[in-house]
Amino acid sequence: MKERRNTQPLVVRCKLVLVGDVQCGKTAMLQVLAKDCYPETYVPTVFENYTACLELEDQRVELSLWDTSGSPYYDNVRPLCYSDSDAVLLCFDISRPDTVDGSLKKWKTEILDFCPSTRVLLIGCKTDLRTDVCTLMELSNQKQTPVTYEQGSALAKQLGAEAYLECSAFTSEKSIHSVFRTAAMACMNKLQALPKNSPTRRLSKRLLHLPSKTDLLSSTLQEGEDQELLSHVSGEVSGYSHCITPSPLPLWSWGRGGGHGFIRVSC
């Protein structure tokens, strides 16, 4: 009798943090990945935490996806999301050249301060607007043009990013899957290369000197504001291990409280 062998694929867990200016396309990417449809309305993100699974060759990859607010209002809270991140997806809006400046200034500085050893992928969002007539006319009035692929690639080199990818949540679901598949591959290479106790996987010293999570969150809420937000965000940033299970996950549920899902992405 032949001995049975365990044929279940190796599971790799990766944490991805999405950052970028307000309305640059971060949340739309996640909604297309999760629900296979483009969001009809824009709902400002505070902090959302989701889980997705995909298979790459003989490995199953469980992604913990952290959607963050690009608003300056949450600048003191957002750094909590960088803890133990395996890759940061730095997003900008191709139809808004000003978001390129944000990538070079604010986001590069923030990433270097709080997770200097984490791999960064630069993502150009909304490629469909590169040829949109209304967008082109509006930019022309401001003597601007959409960000080109060449400009995005040059920016990625300036940032020291692992890769530059472009996508459109509105017209190309395939491009969204490609972004997260590439990010997963980058994480896998990093996890295999670093020892378990590598100091580069730890949070930078600057973040360790910040006040407690509750103090930070409270500081962003003005007196009289809804404290339900505080409890929600505090729970979300407490650790991504709570949103990953070793068994197949249920279908995605979408809401302000976050959601979990099981997605198989074909290679």
Q: In what order do the strands lie in the sheet with 259-260?
A: 163-166, 119-125, 87-93, 10-20, 59-68, 47-56, 259-260
Q: Give the pTM.
A: 0.70
Between strands 119-125 and 163-166, the pairing is parallel
CA angle 228, 230, 235 (to 5 degrees): 100
Beta-carbon count within 10 A of 175 CB:
19
Taking only the tens place, the pLDDT of each residue in 117-127 is 999 999 999 99
Kindly list the domain boundaries of the chain, sorted by start residue. Answer: 11-192
Taking only the tens place, the pLDDT of each residue in 237-255 is 333 332 323 223 322 323 3
pLDDT of residue 141: 96
Q: Which comes out higher in pLDDT, residue 135 or 262?
A: 135
pLDDT of residue 94: 96
Taking only the tens place, the pLDDT of each residue in 208-230 is 333 444 444 444 444 444 444 44
pLDDT of residue 11: 83
pLDDT of residue 9: 61
pLDDT of residue 143: 94
Q: Which comes out higher in pLDDT, residue 36 or 134?
A: 134
Q: Which two tokens stand for residue 254?
A: 């979408």
Lowest mean pLDDT among 41-55, 102-116, 148-162, 178-192: 41-55
Taking only the tens place, the pLDDT of each residue in 163-199 is 999 999 988 888 999 999 999 999 887 544 444 444 4
Homologous superfamily in CATH for domain 11-192: P-loop containing nucleotide triphosphate hydrolases (3.40.50.300)
Q: Which comes out higher in pLDDT, residue 17 or 46?
A: 17
pLDDT of residue 37: 66
Report residue 8's pLDDT band, with 50, 70 and 90 as the boundaries: low
Q: Pick the most confident of 78-82, 206-210, 243-247, 254-258.
A: 78-82
Sequence-ordered list of residues with C-beta below 8 angstroms from that of 191, at least 6 positions apart, any chain: 12, 14, 86
pLDDT of residue 31: 84
